[in-house]
Amino acid sequence: MKITVLGAGPAGLYFALLMKKQRPAHAITLLERDGPNDTFGWGIVFSQRTVEVLKDSDPDTCAEITRRAETWDDVAVVHKGQRITVGGNRFYGIARITLLNILHRRCLDHGVEIRFLTNVADLSELGPSDLLVGADGANSLVRRAYADFFLPLVDLRQNKYIWLGTEQPFEGLTMGFRQADAGLFITHSYRFSPTMSTFIVECPPEAWLKAGLDRMSGEETCVYLAGVFKAELQGRSLRSNNFAKWLNFPLVKNKRWHHRNVVLLGDALHTAHFSIGSGTKLALEDALALAGCFAEHRTVEAALPAFERVRKPIVDEFQQAATESLTWLENVGEHLGLDPVPFAYRLMTRSKRVGYNRLKQKDPAFIARYDRWRQEHPSTGAIPEEFLDLFQKRTFAHLATQMADGTPHVTSVWVDYDGKHVLINSAKGRLKDRNMEQRPHVALEITDPDDPNRYLAVRGAVAEITEEGADEHLDKLARRYLGRDQYPPGWKLPGEVRRIYKIAPERVTPWAPFR
Ligand SMILES: Cc1cc2nc3c(=O)[nH]c(=O)nc-3n(C[C@H](O)[C@H](O)[C@H](O)COP(=O)(O)OP(=O)(O)OC[C@H]3O[C@@H](n4cnc5c(N)ncnc54)[C@H](O)[C@@H]3O)c2cc1C
């Protein structure tokens, strides 16, 4: 098979390597605009799990990567000047250029042709091939050329970020939150060689403009940010390289993954926010999955649909976690008032992939500190602190009320919490309204829309029913559930009178056994 791969990043290189190993007869050409020693950014991170996947698929590459990588177990959270560490998170940090050079060598050793310094401006420049792989990154030319078929969605996120380097050797993956005069700045930093660390900074656009970062040179930017993060950097400087510039993170998705003999891979297909450090992992695993589909199905016609079928659910799940993480960081202002320990807990659980139980397994000492903090600061309401997020998203509750004949009645409702009562908003005269007015005992099951295995079961009684403020409350709910400023007036029945039902919880059962 004649295979052309556009882009020699991790996805393109690893796919070419695995295909060539699978069938040395394949003629594989990689086209790359950069030279073999050019790259953007500094270092990247892999988790232990990724390393295990690589070990199974190509032990030699994996051995080389782990030999050259820095390792650590802690995530450190710096908030209000205090450093909280959470252990049990084995990570590997490696310079992006080192990773690429390892893959270059492996590809060349196996007979893959890599044409460096070859910028492809138009796909018509490419000769015919049996398979064209668009592994050309987040701004993919292949994706744009076939946009009518791939149906891409590119959501540019609000925060500005820049990828810098420093000689400060960070211990563990450090996330620092600093309030400067201009606003909030967040760093994600980690060591990727004995002498160098990656230092990514992100900030809301308001802080970026107020600080004048839109007008600063690379050098001025480094000086400014080194001042903001003086404590984390212990006075060391920041460095930019030729590729350093402020960007908005593009959240890329594609409705379709392949068209005829063309397929997308890695960032061209999907991006995952750097705060969960999984972009390179996803790129390499895509390559592995696509090569696996060719091993099983042989033909392009069969392998490409199989790739989408097998891989998409996994990628969707990761993107969901990464999106949770980036959204949390975009809205971190809501959490900045917290003490460092509960703040670190919220940060560690932000992607919803890890919860209390998993954290306890990873680092019992951290959870003991968190539990101590909870005992010293008992929740003023009945809903546990770590389940309050359910009232910040589009969570539907199932409300059970009792009919006059004693039989149950269940409806799906929007749900809110005022710190003391669970709030439901409905209309006078409806069945549930009459039930709650006459028989105030109710039960609710409030399920996390992102993880149906996580829910709150609440039993209690309606303490108050009020019409006061009910329309405003409904508008507030519409902002969360519909993304609209106002509940659509056309959705109300003529003469509808809205009511708020304040349910005092008597028994609350939080359920999240698998996280
Ligand atoms: C700030 C930041 C931090 C990150 N940190 C991490 C991390 O810690 N861990 C992690 O796993 N991931 C991280 N990532 C993500 C990671 O860099 C990407 O997800 C990963 O590089 C994707 O690999 P890829 O091969 O799909 O694309 P890329 O690495 O982008 O490679 C695409 C290649 O295609 C080439 N190319 C593009 N267009 C053309 C063209 N027209 N002609 C010729 N060549 C072309 C480019 O030069 C490039 O070499 C981070 C990303 C950012 C932005």
Q: pLDDT tens across 161-184, in order? A: 999 999 999 988 999 999 999 999
pLDDT at residue 243, rounded to an integer = 65
- 3-state DSSP helix/strand/coil % of the chain, to nearest 5: 40, 30, 30
Give residue 256 CA to ligand 1 midpoint distance, Å. Answer: 21
Give which of 495, 492, 505, 487 is closest to 445, Cα–Cα: 505
Number of C-beta neighbours around residue 21 at 10 A: 17
Segment 373-395, tens digit of pLDDT: 988 987 778 898 888 889 988 99
Residues 44, 259: Cα–Cα separation, whole Å = 31
Task: Indicate the residue type of 278.
Answer: S
Q: Say yes or no to pLDDT of 483 above 90.
A: no
**42-51, 280-289, 375-384, 491-500: segment of lowest average pLDDT:** 375-384
Q: What amino acid occupies position 272? A: A
Q: Whose CA is nearest to atom 20 of ligand 1?
A: 280
Residue 497 CB contacts under 8 Å (≥ 6 apart), including other chains: 427, 428, 429, 467, 470
Average pLDDT estimate for 414-440: 96
Expressed in angstroms, the distance from the first to the final Cα of the chain is 44
Q: Tell me how far the alpha carbon of residue 323 lies from the centroid of ligand 1, in angstroms.
A: 18
Q: By alpha-carbon position, which residue is closest to atom 45 of ligand 1?
A: 7
- Calculate mean pLDDT across residues 225-251: 91
Which atom of ligand 1 has the smallest separation from the CA of 267? 26
Highest mean pLDDT among 226-235, 315-324, 448-457: 226-235
Across 443-454, average pLDDT = 92
Of the given ranges (242-251, 263-272, 434-443), which has the lowest mean pLDDT?
Answer: 242-251
Instruction: Name the closest-CA residue to atom 37, ligand 1.
Output: 136
The whole-chain average pLDDT of the chain stands at 94
Say if ligand 1 is within 6 A of residue 44 CB.
yes
The one-character DSSP state at 331 is T
Domain 2-325 class, CATH top level: alpha beta
User: To test ligand 1's pocket by mutation, which of 101, 136, 263 has the most ligand atoms within 8 angstroms of CB?
Assistant: 136
Looking at CATH, the fold of the domain delimited by 388-511 is given as Pnp Oxidase; Chain A (2.30.110)
Q: 342 pLDDT band (50/70/90 cuts)? A: very high
| Cβ(134) – ligand 1 distance below 6 Å | no
Q: How far, in Å, is the centroid of ligand 1 from the Cα of 15? A: 14
Which of 159, 267, 270 most suits a substitution to test ligand 1, by most atoms within 8 Å of the C-beta? 267
Which residue carries 């359910």 as its tokens? 390
Which residues belong to CATH 2.30.110.10 in the chain?
388-511
Minimum mean pLDDT among 125-134, 150-159, 237-246, 312-321: which range?
237-246
Answer whether 225's CB lies under 8 Å from 164's CB. yes
Q: Of 382, 369, 360, which Cα lies nearest the Cα of 339?
A: 369
Q: What's the pLDDT score for residue 343? A: 96
The ipTM, to two decimals, is: 0.95
Q: Measuring from atom 50 of ligand 1, which residue has the nearest CA?
A: 274
In the chain, ranges of CATH 3.50.50.60 domains: 2-325
pLDDT for the residue numbered 145: 97
Average of per-residue pLDDT across 135-155: 96
Torsion angles phi and psi, residue 216, rounded to 5: -85, 150
Atom 18, ligand 1: which residue's CA is nearest? 279
